[in-house]
Structure formats: C-alpha cells, structure tokens
Chain A
Amino acid sequence: MATAPLVGAPAAPAEAAEPLRLVGWRRPVLRASSIGLFLLAWHVATQWDLDLYVRFQNIPSPGDVLAEAIALFGSAGFYVHILASLERIWLGFAIATVLGVGLGLVIGWFAAAEDILFPPIELLRPIPAVAWVPISIMLWPTERSSIVFITTLGAFFPIVLNTIHGVEGIDRQLVRAATSLGAGRTAIFREVVLPGALPSIVTGLSVGMGVSWICLISAEMISGQFGVGYFTWVAYGIVKYSQIVVGMLTIGVLGMLSSLVIRLVGTRCMPWLPRRDKGGA
C-alpha cells in the first residue's frame, strides 16, 4: 500500500519517495517486535505468577513450552497423534468435497434437484457439528469413523452452499454463447458450469477446511483416543500444562498449513484470476 507523507507541504517526488522506502524495512521490524513484546508479556506474567483476576500460576512460560516442544517433537509418540488428526482431517475433508461439490453442482443447476435435496440441508445446517458428537458415536461403529463423520459434516455445509452459490451466479450469457457455438448439455456443464463455479467452490473449500479443524479438535477432545485434540485434553487431565500449549500451537500450525494447501491448489487451478499478491506495490 502506498502511504502518503503524513506531514505535508506539497512534496517533490524525490522527497515523497523517502518515507515509502523507510516503510520497506520498518514494517517487518515492527511486526517482529510486536511478537517479541507479546512473548515478553507472556514470560513476565508466568514468571511473576501474576494474579489479576486471570491467574497465571499454572500457565507454562514460553521457555517451558519451547523445551516441551523440543522434547515432544524429538519423540515418536507425538507424531502418532499428529498423523491421526491429519488422516481424519483429509479423509473427512475429501468426503465432504466430493459430496458437497457434487450435490452443490446438481442443486445449483437443476431447479428440481434444489426442491428435493436442499430443504434437508437447510434444516440441518444451523446445528453445529459438535452437537452431533453423541449421535455420531451411536451411528458409527468405530471411534475413527465417528470422528471422520463429524469432520465431514463441518466441511460439508460451507462447501455445498458455496458451490450452489457459484453455479447460480454463472452469467447466463456465457451459457447462451456456448449453445450458439454448438455446445450440448454435457459440454455446457463441463465447459461453463464447472469452471464458472470454481472460484466460489474454492472459497467453500477454504472455509470448509477451517470449520473441519474446529470440528475435528472438538470431537477428539470429547471422544478420542488419538489425535492432537485428544492429546491436548489429556495433557490437562494429567497436569502436563506445557503440553497443552504445544498441542494448541500444533493445531494452529496444522490448520494454517491446510488452508495454505487449499489456497495454492486453488490459484493453480484458476490461472485466469488476477493474482492478489501482485496488486499494490
């Protein structure tokens, strides 16, 4: 973003360029200091066992957490939890993608399908996926399948809704253009509907990925035997407080990386869209 000089006699171009150049190194430094300050505050609060209505006596310090993280990532046991969570996420997300995109395309394109399939979706959508946990345990034979179900459920609704939205937003003139170039029904679906809805589908996938992490961790905390959510909850139970924070941070990083993958795949699939990062200099 271009920031104009704040104080300002009408500046010559050379003078105007000066504050802009400063911003170049000032911003990363500012941002790093901001994180540094946060860590310092955390350190001070835990070191002095502050009790300001919120109590820091039992909260691990940044140093404790770092030491714990090094120990955990040096042992095989922690990876079992990470792999369990990743497997559930990708499985649930993949099922949700197939179902959500498939149903969304059909519902969006065929008015009759909308009347038949959409009402139950609308009815179930307001129920948070976590509220499904008890029913899910009863429905599914294994703990793994019931957690995957919750994860799928979380991702499904944003994906299906965004896909419907994307299909319904397709410019009818493009459909006309395609028919006047000789396209039949299948070709229109493949060449116009699918790519036309793709930007919206990718938005749905991105939102769905975020929601499915929330659902996964909640489900693991309630009814898991493995997984980072389970690990974090158990750490609380067995009074290993620094492990809680390592668990939290791991969840954050994994969630962020998953979203990154979706975004990268999305941009790769849609080369016609203007790149955001090329925007303002």
Chain B
Amino acid sequence: MVNGAGTGRIEITDLGIVFGRDDRRVEAVRRFTLMTTPGEFVALLGPSGCGKTTVLNAVAGFVQPTVGRVMVDGEPVVEPGADRGMVFQQHSLFPWKTVLANVEFGLKMRGIGSIERTAQARRYLNLVGLAGFERAYPGELSGGMQQRVGIARVLVNRPRVMLMDEPFGALDAQTRLTMQELLLGVWREVRTTVLFVTHDIDEAIFLADRVAVMTARPGQIRDLMPVKLPRPRPAEVIATAEFMSLKARVLAQVREESGRAWIEPRP
C-alpha cells in the first residue's frame, strides 16, 4: 500500500455504458476493466470521444453503469460523493463564492464549524500556492489559478480518489506545464489516488504511474503501460531517452485509435 490509510482502491470491472436507445443508442464504454492501487496516479489517454470522461463520470457517480460495476474500496459507487471529488476542465467554481468559500464548500456540507473550516481551507490554499487570494472571486482569477482552487476544493475533503477531467486542457502551454509540476508536488503531499483523463500524451506520461491507452469508441483499455520514470520528476524528464521511447510507443497506439475513430465512426 502506498498511502498510509490504504484507501483509494478503484475497481472497475467489465464496465459498459450505453446512452440513449434504439437508433440514437450510443455505446460509450464497453468491457472496460481497470484496477488501481491506493495512492496510485493513473492517466486515461485516448482519442476524443472515446468514452474516457464517461469512465470518470461513472467513478464519480454522475452516470450509472449499464453493465459491469464500479467499486471504490470495496463499496459500489451509487451516487456522487465527496470521497470521489472531481476537478473539471473549467468553469466549475461557484462564481458567487469567494476562493475561500469555494474551498470550504465540502467541509460546510459535512457540517464542520466555520473556524475549523477556514483553517483547513487555508491550509489547502497554501498547498496550491494561493495564499492571499482567499477573498477573491473566481472571476478575478486566471484560468490556472481557478484550476488550483478546483484542486484545493477537492483535496480539502481528503477524498479516496481525485478525478480529473482534462483539468489543464483549457490552459496555455506554459501554464499547463506549471500546473502539472504543481499537481505532482501537491500529490506528493496528499497521496490520494488520482484518475486523470487527458488526450495529451506528454502530460499522461509526465504525471502518471500508469498510462491506460483507450481504444476508439466504444472505449476499452487497449494497453496499460507502467511509467518507470523516477520521482520526483523534474520538467526536464520529458527530454530523456526513456520518456521518448515510452512516448513513441503510446503515440503509435493513439495514432491507430484516432485513425479507427475516423474510419469506423459508429457501427
């Protein structure tokens, strides 16, 4: 077990998710199986529309499996909950709440008193480097800072799993790099299981312990590759031969799947 509490074991078994019915039926995910160890960082990588966000939503409890099952620490997922917090791509902070109140939200829902709430929220704001912005509103922050608030808002609840849905996809390249490094730094501190959806190969390899490459829709895992790069990983790691060879392998697979997504749009 990686983290102290030993929580955050995700077990997704033969997951299948179908939206709509009859001629508008879309099979988003088919026979998807993935297990994570507690405290592991797993990246889900795949062509757009391959169902990777759907898998994430199933773990979050936003969508129900059509077949198969999703369990976290041995309990089946039935509804959304703070133990499986989600960081969205963008615009998910409450615009009418200050940065501090956004981070306090989960604690407030648990009925924790305001003094304790503020203390904990401040600790996590410090962790993501946003001390001093407590009273700002989300609209006054840059995209990168908003995502940091989003991460703090999830972590303050000490979730078993942090779900991240292309959290840096809307940021410029420079900010994205900074955020990736920041995320690794934060993750080293909190050691929660992370399931990270992205279509950026560099990002997946740089961040994750394992990269799950998904097939075109209906999505299933095509290959699950361990990333053996040592941690902590400096940004320079992406220029190493090891990184490059891994990237070449992943790229070849993603290429093939993107191609299939074009050739066979739907059965």
Q: Which A positions have Cβ atoms within 8 angstroms of B?
A: 171, 173-174, 176-184, 187, 191-192, 195-196, 198, 270-272, 274
Does B157 contact A182, Cβ atoms closer than 8 Å?
yes
Given A272-B137, A272-B139, the answer on whether A183 and B109 have CB atoms closer than 8 Å is: yes
Measured CB to CB, the nearest residue on chain B to A199 is B96
Measured CB to CB, the nearest residue on chain A to B136 is A272
Going nearest first, the 4 A-B pairs with the smallest beta carbon separation are A182-B82, A182-B109, A179-B80, A195-B96
Does B157 contact A181, Cβ atoms closer than 8 Å?
yes
Render B183-218 as a binary contact track against A, CB cut-off 8 A, 1 for contact: 000000000000000000000000000000000000
A274 to chain B: which residues have CB within 8 Å?
139
Secondary structure of the B contact surface, majority rule: loop
A182 to chain B, nearest CB (A): 4
B7 to chain A, nearest CB (A): 16
Q: Which of B142-163 contact A (CB under 8 A)?
A: 153-154, 157, 163
Which single member of B86, B91, B137 contacts A180 (CB below 8 Å)?
A: B86
B95 to chain A: which residues have CB within 8 Å?
272
Given A176-B86, A272-B137, A272-B139, the answer on whether A182 and B94 have CB atoms closer than 8 Å is: no
Does A191 contact B137, Cβ atoms closer than 8 Å?
no
A176 to chain B: which residues have CB within 8 Å?
60, 62, 80, 86, 88, 92
Cα-based distance from A97 to B86 in the complex (angstroms): 37
Given A178-B105, A270-B96, A272-B96, the answer on whether A173 and B88 have CB atoms closer than 8 Å is: yes
B153 to chain A: which residues have CB within 8 Å?
181
Cα-based distance from A183 to B106 in the complex (angstroms): 7
Measured CB to CB, the nearest residue on chain B to A269 is B96
B61 to chain A: which residues have CB within 8 Å?
179-180
Given A272-B137, A274-B139, the answer on whether A180 and B94 have CB atoms closer than 8 Å is: no
Does A271 contact B80, Cβ atoms closer than 8 Å?
no
B39 to chain A: which residues have CB within 8 Å?
none
Secondary structure of the A contact surface, majority rule: helix
Measured CB to CB, the nearest residue on chain A to B163 is A180
A271 to chain B, nearest CB (A): 7
Please list 16 pairs of residues, one from A and one from B, whose beta carbons are closer than 8 Å in the complex, sorted by A's number. A171-B91, A176-B62, A177-B88, A180-B61, A181-B85, A181-B105, A181-B153, A181-B154, A182-B109, A182-B110, A191-B94, A191-B105, A192-B94, A195-B94, A272-B96, A272-B139
Which single member of A171, A180, A195 contacts B80 (CB below 8 Å)?
A: A180
B70 to chain A, nearest CB (A): 14
B84 part of interface (Cβ distance < 8 Å): yes
Which single member of B79, B91, B96 contacts A173 (CB below 8 Å)?
A: B91
Given A182-B109, A182-B110, A274-B139, the answer on whether A177 and B92 have CB atoms closer than 8 Å is: yes
Render B83-113 as a binary contact track against A, CB cut-off 8 A, 1 for contact: 0111010011111110000000110011000
How many A-B contacts if CB must be within 8 Å? Answer: 69
Cα-based distance from A270 to B81 in the complex (angstroms): 29
A177 to chain B: which residues have CB within 8 Å?
86, 88, 92-94
Does A174 contact B92, Cβ atoms closer than 8 Å?
yes
Cα-based distance from A192 to B101 in the complex (angstroms): 13
Cα-based distance from A102 to B106 in the complex (angstroms): 27
Given A196-B96, A198-B96, A272-B95, the answer on whether A182 and B81 have CB atoms closer than 8 Å is: yes
Cα-based distance from A271 to B97 in the complex (angstroms): 9
B112 to chain A, nearest CB (A): 11
Q: A174-B92, A177-B93, A181-B82 are in contact. List 11 more A-B contacts (CB 8 A).
A: A174-B94, A176-B62, A177-B92, A178-B105, A180-B60, A180-B61, A181-B85, A182-B109, A184-B109, A272-B97, A272-B138
Given A272-B137, A274-B139, the answer on whether A182 and B92 have CB atoms closer than 8 Å is: no
Cα-based distance from A184 to B60 in the complex (angstroms): 15
B135 to chain A, nearest CB (A): 10
B110 to chain A: which residues have CB within 8 Å?
182
A271 to chain B: which residues have CB within 8 Å?
137
A192 to chain B: which residues have CB within 8 Å?
94
A145 to chain B, nearest CB (A): 37
Cα-based distance from A270 to B95 in the complex (angstroms): 10
B109 to chain A: which residues have CB within 8 Å?
181-184, 187
Measured CB to CB, the nearest residue on chain B to A176 is B62
Q: Which of B198-250 contact A (CB under 8 A)?
A: none
A168 to chain B, nearest CB (A): 17
A272 to chain B: which residues have CB within 8 Å?
95-97, 137-139
Measured CB to CB, the nearest residue on chain B to A184 is B109
A195 to chain B: which residues have CB within 8 Å?
94, 96-97
Cα-based distance from A150 to B94 in the complex (angstroms): 38
Cα-based distance from A180 to B96 in the complex (angstroms): 18
Measured CB to CB, the nearest residue on chain A to B98 is A272
A181 to chain B: which residues have CB within 8 Å?
82, 85, 105-106, 109, 153-154, 157
A196 to chain B: which residues have CB within 8 Å?
96
Cα-based distance from A195 to B92 in the complex (angstroms): 14
B139 to chain A: which residues have CB within 8 Å?
272, 274
B137 to chain A: which residues have CB within 8 Å?
271-272
